[in-house]
């Protein structure tokens, strides 16, 4: 750089390089004309001049000769390549934002404590938005509520007695509590059972934090019936296997018995608690396109689940 060029170059100002200035610089460099650059960008010619001057001021380097004709300085030629690279990355970012907004791609994490209801929603979502990658994990109501609150998952599908006010909770279904027994158990032929009739039976219980366990305990406490716990297991599937093995009877919500021919779900009456299966997320997460799309599918999928029963 010559002494004259150095004198013409403005003093550098930190932190004032903007995308609009880079776009103005790139347009002038490509067209070699302020008027053509303004037409290309859809702005006025003075605006292009101001943006370019601001970029030169921010860099402390003269980027373009104005006379006798517009051309790049040596520094301008070098920085033009970098400016084009930055602008191409910004264009890629903009395209990614559009794709994510249109749900052409992306990621959604879902925690499940009620897989039998969640799978219908997941199937409907993946059919409509095949470009969104799903990550799932299994937990109970307590762990999933914590995961949602700490942003470890986007959505938790769980059973709740009272939806917390600080979270967005969308009802999927309101299944009733049932007693899980072996098909050859005398209770299997009953139309319904009450807590008072089960005081002599050993139970295979879910872990602390399970709403199934909490609902059963409340029902027995309300009827003043002692609950005999023989075994505590950390998953619904483990509980079902224990019941099938003859280790006791268990509790689950309607539908959770699945297609297991070894087991029967007997309706449990006079339960003093009202529960529902909800899709739970942070309220602010509803602004995420994939989360909003999943929640918006719930009414139609829930209606089809009810109709299929």
Q: Please, what sign has the CA dihedral across residues 301, 177, 183, 191?
A: negative
How far is CA 139 from each of CA 46, 67, 229, 306, rounded to the nearest angstrom? Answer: 61, 70, 22, 25
- Rounded average pLDDT per 10-residue block, the chain, 309 residues: 44 71 94 94 94 92 92 93 90 81 87 89 94 92 93 94 92 92 96 94 94 91 93 94 97 88 91 79 93 94 73
- Residue 5 has a pLDDT of 43
Q: What is the DSSP letter of 301?
A: H
Q: What is the DSSP letter of 247?
A: S
DSSP per-residue string spanning 28-97: HHHHS-HHHHHHHHTS-HHHHHHHHHHHHHHHTS--EE-SSS-EE-HHHHHHHHHHHHHHHHHHHHHHHH
- Residue 35 has a pLDDT of 93
pTM for this structure? 0.65
Which CATH number is 3-101's, of 3.40.50.300, 3.20.20.70, 1.10.3720.10, 1.10.10.10? 1.10.10.10
CATH of domain 106-168+279-308: 3.40.190.10
- Residue 161 has a pLDDT of 85
Distance between first and last Cα of the chain: 81
How far is CA 134 from each of CA 91, 101, 241, rounded to the nearest angstrom? Answer: 26, 16, 28
| Domain-wise residue ranges, the chain | 3-101, 106-168+279-308, 177-267
Which CATH number is 177-267's, of 1.20.1630.10, 3.40.50.300, 3.40.50.2300, 3.40.190.10? 3.40.190.10
- Say how far apart CA 240 and CA 101 lie, in whole Å: 42
138, with CB counted inside 10 A (0-12, 13-18, 19+), is: middle
Q: Assess whether the region 106-168+279-308 and the region 177-267 belong to the same CATH fold.
A: yes
């Amino acid at each position: 750089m010559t002494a004259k060029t150095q004198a013409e170059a403005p003093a550098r100002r930190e932190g004032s390089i903007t995308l609009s200035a880079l776009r103005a610089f790139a347009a002038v460099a490509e067209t070699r004309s302020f008027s053509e650059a303004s037409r290309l960008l859809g702005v006025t010619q003075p605006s292009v001049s101001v943006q370019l001057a601001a970029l030169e001021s921010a860099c402390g380097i003269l980027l373009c000769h104005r006379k006798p004709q517009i051309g790049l300085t040596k520094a301008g030629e070098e920085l033009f390549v970098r400016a084009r690279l930055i602008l191409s990355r910004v264009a890629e970012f903009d395209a990614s934002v559009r794709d994510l907004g249109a749900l052409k791609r992306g990621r959604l994490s879902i925690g499940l404590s009620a897989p039998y209801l969640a799978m219908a929603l997941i199937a409907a979502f993946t059919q409509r938005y095949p470009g969104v990658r799903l990550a799932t994990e299994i937990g109970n109501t307590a762990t999933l509520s914590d995961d949602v609150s700490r942003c470890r998952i986007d959505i938790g599908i769980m059973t709740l007695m009272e939806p917390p006010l600080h979270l967005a909770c969308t009802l999927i279904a309101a299944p009733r509590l049932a007693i899980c027994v072996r098909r050859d158990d005398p209770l299997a032929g009953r139309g319904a059972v009450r807590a008072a009739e089960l005081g002599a039976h050993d139970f295979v219980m879910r872990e602390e934090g399970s709403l199934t366990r909490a609902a059963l305990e409340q029902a027995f406490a309300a009827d003043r019936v002692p609950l005999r716990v023989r075994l505590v297991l950390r998953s619904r599937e483990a509980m079902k296997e224990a019941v099938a093995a003859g280790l006791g009877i268990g509790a689950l919500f309607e539908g959770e018995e699945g297609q297991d021919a070894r087991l029967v779900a007997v309706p449990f009456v006079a339960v003093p608690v009202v529960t529902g299966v909800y899709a739970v997320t942070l309220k602010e997460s509803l602004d995420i396109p994939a989360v909003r799309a999943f929640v918006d599918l719930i009414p139609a999928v829930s209606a089809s689940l009810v109709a299929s029963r």
